[in-house]
Amino acid sequence: MRNLIIYIFILFSSVLTAQNSFKKGEQLFKNEQWLEAKSKFQEVESSSANYPKSQEYLGDIAAHQKEWDEALDYYEYLVEKYPESANYNFKYGGALGMKALTLSKMQAAFYISDIKYYLKQAAQLDSKHIEVRWALVELYMELPGILGGSSETAYQYAYQLQKISEVDGWLAKGFIARKEEDFSLAEKYFKNALRVGGSVTCYEKLLELYLQNTKEHHKAKNLLEEAKKAHPHANWTSFVSKFS
């Protein structure tokens, strides 16, 4: 009986330790104290109910530090264990994409099919996942045609975005049109985004179009004045400097 009590005490103590480590790790993570948070999450035992989440946090920390191989190890474990998780598929596909950006074009080409697979899987698993649809829009616009790049496919995901978030849909369409150098269409889409959303991002995208692509500084100047009134606490310095 005495041995049983000791065993239960040790087991209970280890559970409390794991829970405390996880909670401390979460707080450190929120405070962006990456190294300290990492140390705490690494203390969480594999038998703990918090173990999967701790692995996700460890992957996120590695991603913040641009340690893509390390991030991939954590996300791969999670996506293999929980293949029906849209979030894990998205993070694994995204990390593969970021890893590919560090490689030569020839090396990166070998990653494309996996990147597409996991991002598409995430989109299929979660019909309202905004981030993964943005990732797919950008992926299909950045890829050359020979590797499967397609504005038509990018627009398909932009339309899906619009059903979830109208402003994101217009911004995505504006992004595509701008990449295709159809600046009048991009202006139309960004104006629609501004009308619907009115956010700092909406103003920024239209300002960038006027300043970087159409070179319509008079439009940019008027829009900037409007943006400053709509969002007086936002930092518009980078745009103001264009007119100084």
Query: 39-84 pLDDT, tens per residue?
Result: 999 989 888 899 999 999 999 999 999 999 999 999 999 999 999 9
- Give the CA count within 13 Å in the CB-facing half-sphere of 96: 22
Domain extents for the chain?
A: 26-126
Residue 2 has pLDDT above 80, yes or no: no
pLDDT tens figures, 215-234: 999 999 999 999 999 999 99
Is residue 129 within 8 A of residue 88, CB to CB? The reply is: no
Residues in the chain: 244
Q: Sign of dihedral through CA atoms 48, 54, 55, 56?
A: positive
Q: What's the pTM? A: 0.84
User: Domain 26-126 belongs to what architecture?
Assistant: Alpha Horseshoe (1.25)
> CA-to-CA distance for 74 and 57, rounded, in angstroms?
9
